[in-house]
Amino acid sequence: MTSTFGSRLHAAMAERGRLCVGIDPHASLLHEWGLDDDVAGLERFALSVVEAVAPVASVVKPQSAFYERFGSRGVAVLERVVAESRAAGALVLLDVKRGDIGSTSQAYADAYLDPASPLACDAVTVSPYLGLGSLDPFVETARRHDGGVFVLALTSNKEGPEVQHAVGADGVRVADRVLDHLRALNAGAEPLGSFGAVVGATITQPEDGPAFDLAFGGPVLAPGFGAQGGTVADVRRIFGASAAHVLASSSRDVLRLGPDRVAMRDAVRATNDELAALG
């Protein structure tokens, strides 16, 4: 790698658009495709999606759990998904949501961000809820290898606000502290920092307090776009001036069109055209 993840992502979004395609082999989707819920079905599904979307999408996002459930053979398929997606020109954001401390956190970081690993990708998702310092191994490893990290900040699941909107003894909300941490990590980065936030495309700003400041110098992964209800209008409403840094994530709107590769590829292009209206 010759440039930071933030620089590569900025260039990829400008060239290929702002849609991140989730490659999530749900059992129900395998059945919809007429495939068995086994390793052979997983492989055919996942690699068909890669063939269809990786040449045109800026980012693909495999959810590790759907591969891990098949054991070592499923992880072997995931390794191929990562390698073949990157070979086709897409950046790979591996959705693992890891969060641990010390040497364990470092081992996770090495597994996903060290180029020597068979699962090496461009960026990963992580959880900050063991304390922001627990993310240091990911941050340091990402910097060493020009990788990226997306930190859970404001998710759209209904339970999220229980933790993310909670106020600490110092009067600062948890999500604000996460965003402030990312703001510090991205300070001075141009054109875009490498440390992003996960913010749902369907969240609502709090009615009984100040709005969350989503300008922190890095990219935003916005899951929930498309089939889960998020729209371009929602992205504009939630992110305002920061909408240009939003990577909208969708899976089912594309995957349900398979195994027709042309239809999946056309859906990526159409959604990117839609997202281009954000300016």
> How far apart, in whole angstroms, are the C-alpha atoms of residue 242 and residue 168?
26
| Side chain identity, residue 165 | H
> How far apart, in whole angstroms, are the C-alpha atoms of residue 195 and residue 128?
13
In the block, residue with structure tokens 């229980």 = 162
- Domains of the chain in start order, with CATH, are 5-277 (3.20.20.70)
Query: Model confidence at 243, in pLDDT bands (50, 70, 90)?
Result: confident
Percent of the chain with pLDDT over 90: 84
Tokens of 170: 């110092």
> How far apart, in whole angstroms, are the C-alpha atoms of residue 265 and residue 260?
9
Q: Are 192 and 245 in contact (CB under 8 A)?
A: yes
Per-residue model confidence (pLDDT) at position 205: 80
* Measured torsion, CA atoms of residues 48, 50, 51, 55, in degrees rounded to the nearest 10: 160
**Out of 4-13, 181-190, 198-207, least confident range:** 198-207
Which helix (H) or strand (E) segment holds residue 87: the answer is helix 72-87
Per-residue model confidence (pLDDT) at position 227: 67
Q: Are 119 and 144 in contact (CB under 8 A)?
A: no
Query: Model confidence at 35, in pLDDT bands (50, 70, 90)?
Result: very high
Say which residue, 114 or 244, is predicted with more confidence.
114
Query: Model confidence at 226, in pLDDT bands (50, 70, 90)?
Result: confident
Tokens of 25: 């082999």
Q: What's the whole-model pTM score?
A: 0.96
The model's pLDDT over 50-106, given as tens digits with 9 standing for 90+, comes to 999 999 999 999 999 999 999 999 999 999 999 999 999 999 999 999 999 999 999
Catalytic (active-site) positions: 97
